Chains A and B, each alone.
Chain A
Amino acid sequence: MKKTGPVILGFLVGTLMLIQFFTPNEWIEARYNNVLDWKQVVFGITLILGVISLFVYHWKKIEKRSEGWGYSVVTVAGLLFMIVVALIFSPERGPYPWMFDHVQAPMQATMFALLAFYVASASYRAFRARSFHAALLLIAGVVVMLGRVPLGELIGLQHVSSWILDYPNLAAKRGILIGVGLGMVSTAIKIIVGIERTYLGKGA
């Protein structure tokens, strides 16, 4: 029953969700909305689990004085501070939005901006035309990079850049999308009919 129960449940819910897509029946529509409600509740609980897991992981590092435990102190302090100020002052006013605007936002933006420096350094060191295919990729990359900024438009590269995006890029992307779509459909069918059971854990 431990294995059969979830498979039966998967079959019933999977079939119901499949049918609801094609029917305007009110009862099925209501059950579909129930499933969406549960999905959001489960999602909310996973967020709480994530916060607890993050806290426990860093707390253990602090207790054991593991390498880099000082960073864990900052993480735990930041986590607790934001939770406490949100509970006391509400997330809309007071220290919570101030911390977001003046600490979190600049830090996240800075981290992302640093990518420009690493991309420049990496492109210099690693982006080499070692083979014919690598050379093709390199040329396409250079054309698209320049074609997507005003400087490239001055020399007419935007047309070549658009052609690369419209044809070779789209052909590859479509192939991948169709493959992913077919894979999702087949996996869904396998789960509904109980062939695919890896979601039940090892040995299922």
Chain B
Amino acid sequence: MAGAPDRGLFHRLMNIDRRVIFLIIALSVALPILLPLNLPIGASREADAYYEAMEALRPGETMIFSFDYEPDTMAELDPMSLATLRHAFRKDVRVIALTNYAGGAGIAERILHEAAEEHGKEYGTDYVFLGYNPDWSATMLRMGESIRRTFPTDHYRTPTDEIPLLAEVDSYANVPLLVTVTASALAEYWVIWAGGKFDQKVIAGATAIQAVLVYPYFQTGQLSGFLGGLKGAAEYERSIDVDGAGVRGMDAQSMAHLLIVVFILIGNVAFLLHRMQGRRGG
């Protein structure tokens, strides 16, 4: 500002134009995608447990997969959904899919069909998409009684009584594993309603923010495994030997996290020096 007193380097540092910060973040995310660093990806306990739970399924068994998210978090959650379904179909595990979000139907269709086509799976016998049902708590509870009654038709309006897969499987009792991939607290509710009331084994994929909230359920064993954020997806992709968007995103996420930490440090150093300068000045 013209005529404003120069309050020193630290003051200027504390008031960097936000567009400069935006530009640096954009570069830190874009460059590692274009020029991968191939940083090593370790495996966490929770991702190992998730993989083991999937591995324990035998060919011909059926799992429930719930797409509990909408497009806002698909960059973080799509990789774990796709990897899980690839793993299931590779093992000839059958899949009953659903979503508890209206906006999740489009995502579920795309990922289900992509994974099914890769492994030559047939709709109706190898997998089915039940679609969206209003009110998640009632859906979770009623599925314990009867899946066909909870969803009288599938997403494509075929009566569920006519779907071969559902003729054999109609409640949690016939399902050894339930997977939820979620950006909200639904992992907790699957644990409470399906796990607590019907003794259903549950594993979950969650955004990095939600991962902190589902941690207690993993430690108590109520959740048999979980993937936290894109890092969890990358760990799981490595476990099944199919690198996807999770692994590809790890370098970019590492750089973005590092940069935010550097910003925090610079901001704090500038803040402390500015405060000391102010005290000395009087």
Q: Check if A27 is an interface residue, CB within 8 A of chain B.
A: no
Does the CB pair A174–B216 fall under 8 Å? Answer: yes
CB 8 Å contact bits of A36-69 with B (1 = contact, 0 = none): 1001100110010000000000000000000000
Q: Check if B134 is an interface residue, CB within 8 A of chain A.
A: yes
Does the CB pair B29–A108 fall under 8 Å? Answer: no
**Stretch of B40-48, B49-57, B89-97, B159-167 at the chain-chain interface:** B40-48
List CB contacts (< 8 Å) of B80-118 with chain A. 103, 105-107, 109-110
Q: CB-CB < 8 A to B2: which residues of A? A: none
Q: Given A124-B263, A129-B268, A150-B39, A44 and B254 touching (CB < 8 A)? A: no
List CB contacts (< 8 Å) of A127-179 with chain B. 127-129, 138, 141-142, 145-146, 148-154, 158, 162, 165-166, 169-170, 173-174, 177
Q: CB-CB < 8 A to A89: which residues of B? A: none
From A109, A112, A158, B44 is in contact (CB under 8 Å) with A158
CB 8 Å contact bits of B11-28 with A (1 = contact, 0 = none): 000101010011011100
Per the bound structure, the CA–CA distance linking A173 and B185 in Å amounts to 14
Per the bound structure, the CA–CA distance linking A47 and B132 in Å amounts to 13
Q: CB-CB < 8 A to B258: which residues of A? A: 146, 149, 151
Q: Check if B276 is an interface residue, CB within 8 A of chain A.
A: no
**CB-CB nearest in chain B for A150:** B39
Does the CB pair B134–A40 fall under 8 Å? Answer: yes
Q: Given A120-B263, A150-B39, A165 and B212 touching (CB < 8 A)? A: yes
**CB-CB nearest in chain A for B261:** A142
Q: Check if B171 is an interface residue, CB within 8 A of chain A.
A: no
Q: Check if B231 is an interface residue, CB within 8 A of chain A.
A: yes
Q: CB-CB < 8 A to B216: which residues of A? A: 170, 173-174, 177
Q: Check if B219 is an interface residue, CB within 8 A of chain A.
A: yes
Does the CB pair B42–A117 fall under 8 Å? Answer: no
Q: Given A33-B145, A92-B155, A142-B264, A148 and B231 touching (CB < 8 A)? A: yes
Does the CB pair A148–B42 fall under 8 Å? Answer: no
**CB-CB nearest in chain B for A127:** B264
For B, the interface residue count at a CB cutoff of 8 angstroms equals: 67
Q: Check if A198 is an interface residue, CB within 8 A of chain B.
A: no
Q: Given A92-B155, A124-B266, A153 and B72 touching (CB < 8 A)? A: no
Q: Given A92-B155, A112-B72, A153 and B42 touching (CB < 8 A)? A: yes
Q: CB-CB < 8 A to A162: which residues of B? A: 44-45
Per the bound structure, the CA–CA distance linking A36 and B95 in Å amounts to 25
Does the CB pair B267–A124 fall under 8 Å? Answer: yes
B78 to chain A, nearest CB (A): 10
Given contacts A116-B256, A170-B215, 18 further A-B contacts (CB under 8 A): A29-B145, A40-B133, A40-B134, A91-B105, A106-B71, A108-B72, A109-B71, A109-B74, A113-B75, A117-B25, A123-B264, A128-B268, A129-B268, A149-B250, A150-B231, A150-B251, A151-B255, A174-B216
Q: Top 9 closest A-B pairs, CB basis?
A: A43-B135, A150-B39, A105-B71, A151-B254, A108-B71, A112-B72, A124-B263, A108-B72, A100-B106
13 A–B contact pairs at CB < 8 A?
A33-B142, A36-B138, A43-B135, A101-B106, A104-B106, A109-B71, A138-B264, A145-B260, A148-B257, A150-B41, A153-B41, A158-B42, A165-B215
